[in-house]
Amino acid sequence: MQRASPAGTAAAAAAVAYLALGAPPALAAATPDDITVGGAALHLEFEPRAFGDGGDAVRAWIRRSANIVAGYYGRFPTARLTVQVLAEAGDGVHGGKSFANPDGFIRVQVGREVTEAQLLADWVLVHEMTHLALPDTGEAHAWLSEGLATYVEGVARVQAGNRSEADVWAEEIRQMPHGLPQPDDRGLDHTHTWGRTYWGGAMFCLLADVEIRKRSHNRFGLQDALRAVARESGGLAADWPIERVLRTGDGAVGTTTLEDLYAQMKDRPVTPDLMRLWQELGIEPEGSSVRLSDHAPLVEVRRAIMQAP
Ligand SMILES: [Zn+2]
């Protein structure tokens, strides 16, 4: 889900949401709920009685999502986070948005009939929490924040045992071609389509991850670069130029991969041979899924990407 730039306070943002929903403020009766995950204090704002089980599954989902993100980054990206759950009609998880004011604030819309299976399979909250780990680099670089959230969500969930590796690669094979440049493309910084923003950004991340691991002989990956950026910036509350983000990430892994890729892709259409890359990683499409091979030149890189450090 696209995160809005932090405009105003969390309270003001919440008030706007109520107006938009045209509903009475559900939080008036909300029970405060606080948990600690990965070194972070999480404050839950929701109405437990809106859910059939008294909110237990929603609580577990928030804790699980925070643990997945804390696992990927080595600790949760912000010291404090408020998660506001707005219960809506229906089932499933409907969407979310992240803010930094300067503490993290995530608003998610969840159906009252949401099932435990839907919460187990949810990507929205991990995606939103991933946004908290990257400084704000401005609207022109939304492809970096959305691409990272898209890419990291899959990898982080595999590392935590919440999603299968084959499922993530199958989704990338299905979706990442949407991130390739179309005929009128002017590079990632100047082409703000959905495909280029989410999947063009995710493609940048995959290319960077593979390249960092190749250049460092698998000592480091994109994950190490992102951990350094999160640690040194403090995350979404910081305003950093994109060059500083990439330089900081590169510095942590001893390469210039992120800066090089950005120089190539920022204002020019670049069309990498994705199918060949997946073949080298030992990933073969098979129907709507994939078969993972142990015999391909970059098998060790693929394993390293999906293995928790
Ligand atoms: Zn997003």
Tens digits of per-residue pLDDT, 20-43?
333 334 444 444 688 899 889 999
CA 295 – ligand 1 centroid, Å: 35
| Residue whose tokens read 């999502």 | 65
Q: What is the pLDDT of residues 103-161, one digit of tens each?
A: 999 999 999 999 999 999 999 999 999 999 999 999 999 999 999 999 999 999 999 99
Looking at residue 33, its pLDDT comes to 82
User: What is the band of 19 on the pLDDT scale with cuts at 50, 70, 90?
Assistant: very low
Averaged over 35-57, what is the pLDDT?
A: 93
Beta strand 80-88 pairing with 40-46: parallel
CA 107 – ligand 1 centroid, Å: 12
Q: What is the mean pLDDT of the chain?
A: 91
Looking at residue 32, its pLDDT comes to 60
- Give the dihedral sign, CA 53/56/57/59: positive
Looking at residue 101, its pLDDT comes to 82
Q: Are 3 and 128 in contact (CB under 8 A)?
A: yes
Averaged over 7-28, what is the pLDDT?
A: 36
Q: What is the pLDDT of residues 195-231, one digit of tens each?
A: 999 999 999 999 999 999 999 999 999 999 999 999 9
Question: Of the candidates 290, 257, 246, 226, which has an alpha carbon nearest to the alpha carbon of residue 69?
Answer: 226
Residue 206: exposure state from Cβ atoms within 10 A (0-12, 13-18, ≥19): buried
Angle between helices 222-233 and 142-159 (to 10 degrees): 120
DSSP, collapsed to helix, strand or coil, labels residue 214 as: helix
Averaged over 242-269, what is the pLDDT?
A: 98
The residues spanned by each domain of the chain are: 10-131, 139-306
Residues in the chain: 309
Share of the chain above pLDDT 90, in %: 87
- Specify the higher pLDDT residue, 7 or 130: 130
CA 183 – ligand 1 centroid, Å: 26
CA 103 – ligand 1 centroid, Å: 18
Q: Are 1 and 97 in contact (CB under 8 A)?
A: yes
The H-or-E segment that residue 259 falls in is: helix 257-265
User: What is the band of 65 on the pLDDT scale with cuts at 50, 70, 90?
Assistant: very high
Looking at residue 210, its pLDDT comes to 98
Q: How many CA atoms lie within 13 A of 220 on its CB side?
A: 20
CA 131 – ligand 1 centroid, Å: 7
Looking at residue 10, its pLDDT comes to 36
CA 83 – ligand 1 centroid, Å: 15
Looking at residue 2, its pLDDT comes to 44
Beta strand 93-100 pairing with 104-111: antiparallel
| Alpha carbon distance 126, 93 (integer Å) | 12
User: What is the band of 282 on the pLDDT scale with cuts at 50, 70, 90?
Assistant: very high
